[in-house]
């Protein structure tokens, strides 16, 4: 048996589900039972009847699944897969920010540690942030963290004036506006799809701004109306999403926006943390049931409330 078959057999024997984010390596997306964005991963984890969840993503995604499913075994093939955005906000710093603004409510992006979520009133993802913030009382001041680009986008879209944490994702922060403008010149009919974690200098050129799922859905919906002269999308998010986009829309030309330091070769933008999961470490993790996620009980008890609130408000 090859490694793919061995992984499938282990899943059956152990009643395990493999979940993968759209930024995972193509071979991981292909073997997963479910591929989705951060919101969908949380929603599916909350409902699965599998005994074991193998989260092919980064640490906060596995932690969120564990908080939602405390009785299940949640495994992560690459336990060292962190997230620069989650790391940009420590729980102690958030606690100090909160203490300095006692009248504010705290809205946190899902890309945060369990300890940060435990200090949060409502968690959001890029899929539902706009929808959820619109539902919050207008007169209530908000601390939003840690992604300042997503927060700025929500402020512009809602007219709110949320206080923003000064954090960001190193992958989305490094897209080059200059390279994007060159691509727009080269492909004048192409629509620009951008993730809200990108800087405003990128977002200002976007035709569509949304989560990985929203960008994918837009490409799929547009697919039927595209012609041979008008079948290009310029994509400003982590390039792993191109695998699913290309699978869903094989006739379409998806063009990744290069990073600032990458102008010379139009190569992809990859999150090194997301790429840490491989077929080999996935197999080992499943076979040995290793790298189990453990969340402190007291933290999990406080962290589940804002996550459940998010799921209800989505």
Would you count residue 84 as binding ligand 13P (CB under 6 A)? no
Structure tokens at 94: 């958030």
Counting residues that bind ligand 13P (by CB under 6 A) gives 10
d(CA 280, CA 132) in angstroms, rounded, equals 39
| Closer residue to ligand 13P, CB minimum distance, 110 or 179 | 110
Q: Which of 112, 113, 125, 281 binds ligand 13P (CB under 6 A)?
A: 125
Which does residue 211 bind out of ligand SF4, ligand 13P, none, counting CB within 5 to 8 angstroms by kind? ligand 13P
* Region from 78-86, 135-143, 186-194, 250-258 binding ligand SF4, contact rule CB under 6 A: 78-86
d(CA 63, CA 69) in angstroms, rounded, equals 10
Q: Which of 89, 171, 209, 214 binds ligand SF4 (CB under 6 A)?
A: 171
Which does residue 37 bind out of ligand SF4, ligand 13P, none, counting CB within 5 to 8 angstroms by kind? ligand 13P
Structure tokens at 109: 């992006």
| Closer residue to ligand 13P, CB minimum distance, 64 or 125 | 125
φ/ψ of 52, rounded to 5, equals -125, 135
Q: How far is the CB of 229 from ligand SF4 (least distance, A)?
A: 33
Question: Which residue, chain included where needed, has tokens 């074991």?
Answer: 52
189, exposed or middle or buried, with CB in 10 Å at 0-12, 13-18, 19+?
exposed
Q: Which residues contact 5 (CB under 8 A, 6 or more apart)?
A: none
Please write down the long-range contacts of 296-299, taking CB distance under 8 Å and 24 or more positions apart: 296/114, 299/114, 299/115, 299/118
Would you count residue 29 as binding ligand 13P (CB under 6 A)? no
Burial state string for 143-176 with b = 16 or more CB within 10 A and e = fewer than 16: bbbbbbbbbbbbbeeeebebbbbebbbebbbbbb
Q: Which of 7, 122, 274, 285 binds ligand SF4 (CB under 6 A)?
A: 274
Preceding peptide of 146 cis, ω within 30°: yes
d(CA 93, CA 61) in angstroms, rounded, equals 21
| Closer residue to ligand SF4, CB minimum distance, 62 or 130 | 62
| Closer residue to ligand 13P, CB minimum distance, 126 or 222 | 126
What residues form DSSP beta bridges with 78?
A: none
| Closer residue to ligand 13P, CB minimum distance, 126 or 176 | 126
Q: How far is the CB of 181 from ligand 13P (least distance, A)?
A: 24
Would you count residue 37 as binding ligand SF4 (CB under 6 A)? no
Q: Which of 38, 48, 148, 155 binds ligand 13P (CB under 6 A)?
A: 38
Counting residues that bind ligand SF4 (by CB under 6 A) gives 13
Structure tokens at 129: 């942030």
Would you count residue 276 as binding ligand SF4 (CB under 6 A)? no
| Closer residue to ligand 13P, CB minimum distance, 16 or 60 | 60
User: Which residues are near ligand 13P by CB under 6 A?
Assistant: 37-38, 111, 125-127, 169, 197, 211-212
By CB under 6 A, name the binding residues for ligand SF4: 23, 58, 83-85, 111, 169-171, 238, 271, 273-274
């Amino acid at each position: 048996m090859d490694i793919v078959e061995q992984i499938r057999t282990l899943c059956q024997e152990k009643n395990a589900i493999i979940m993968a984010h759209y930024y995972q390596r193509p071979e991981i997306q292909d073997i997963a039972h479910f591929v989705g964005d951060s919101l969908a991963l949380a929603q599916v984890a909350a409902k699965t009847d599998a005994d074991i969840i193998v989260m092919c993503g980064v640490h906060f995604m596995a932690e969120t699944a564990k908080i939602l499913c405390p009785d299940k075994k949640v495994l992560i093939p690459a336990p060292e897969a962190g997230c620069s955005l989650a790391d940009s906000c420590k729980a102690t710093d958030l606690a100090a920010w909160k203490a300095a603004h006692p009248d504010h409510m705290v809205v946190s992006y899902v890309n945060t540690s369990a300890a940060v979520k435990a200090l949060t009133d409502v968690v959001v993802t890029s899929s539902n942030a706009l929808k959820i913030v619109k539902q919050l009382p207008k007169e209530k001041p908000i601390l939003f963290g840690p992604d300042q680009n997503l927060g700025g986008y929500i402020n512009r879209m809602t007219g709110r004036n949320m206080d923003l944490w000064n954090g960001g994702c190193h992958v989305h922060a490094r897209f080059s506006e200059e390279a994007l403008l060159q691509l727009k010149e080269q492909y004048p009919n192409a629509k620009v799809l951008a993730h809200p974690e990108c800087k405003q200098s990128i977002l200002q050129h976007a035709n569509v701004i949304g989560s990985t799922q929203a960008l994918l859905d837009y490409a799929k919906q547009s697919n039927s109306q595209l012609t041979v002269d008008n079948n290009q999308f310029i994509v400003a998010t982590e390039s792993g999403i191109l695998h699913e986009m290309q699978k869903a829309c094989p006739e379409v030309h998806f063009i990744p926006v290069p990073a600032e330091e990458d102008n010379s070769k139009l190569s992809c933008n990859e999150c090194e943390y997301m790429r840490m999961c491989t077929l080999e470490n996935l197999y080992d993790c499943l076979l040995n049931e290793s790298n189990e996620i453990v969340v402190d009980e007291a933290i999990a008890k406080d962290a589940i409330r804002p996550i459940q609130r998010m799921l209800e408000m989505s």
